[in-house]
A = this chain, B = another copy of it.
Amino acid sequence: MIKTYNPEFEQDIREKLQRQGFMKLLGFHVTKIAAGSIEGELTLEPHHRQHKGFAHGGLIATLADIVAGFAAVSLVPKDHHVVTAEIKVSYFHPGVGDKLLVKGYVIKQGRKLNFCEAEVYDVRGAAEPLLIAKASATMATITPEEIARRV
Contact = CB atoms under 8 A, between A and B. Distances in A.
Interface of A: 16-25, 45-52, 56-59, 61-63, 65-66, 69, 81, 83-94, 107-108, 110-113, 115, 131, 134, 136, 138, 140, 146
A58 B22 contact: yes
Number of chain copies forming the complex: 4
A17 B50 CA distance: 9
Contact of A62 (B52, B56, B69, B134): B56
A145 B19 CA distance: 36
A88 B87 contact: yes
Q: Is the interface of A mostly helix, strand, loop or mixed?
A: mixed
A51 B86 contact: no
